[in-house]
Amino acid sequence: MTHLSVNINKIATIRNARGGNVPNVLKAAMDIERFGAQGITVHPRPDERHIRYQDVRDIAPIVTTEFNIEGYPNKSFIELVKEVKPTQVTLVPDPPDVLTSNAGWDTIRNESFLKDVIAEFHGAGIRTSIFIETDEKMIRNAAETGTDRIELYTENYATQYPIDRGKAISPFIKAATTALEVGLGINAGHDLDLNNLKYFAQNVPGLLEVSIGHALISDALYFGLENAVQLYLRELRP
Q: Please give the positions annotated as active site.
A: 43, 70, 190
Element (H, E) at 153: strand 149-153
Neighbours of 118 (CB within 10 A): 22
The DSSP output letter for 88 is E
3-class secondary-structure state, position 99: coil
CB within 8 A of 225, min separation 6: which ones? 28, 31, 32, 35
Separation of CA 140 from chain center? 20
CA dihedral 68, 223, 62, 58 (to 10 degrees): 80
Which runs of consecutive H residues, i.e. helices, occur in 43-193? 53-59, 75-84, 111-123, 136-142, 155-160, 165-181
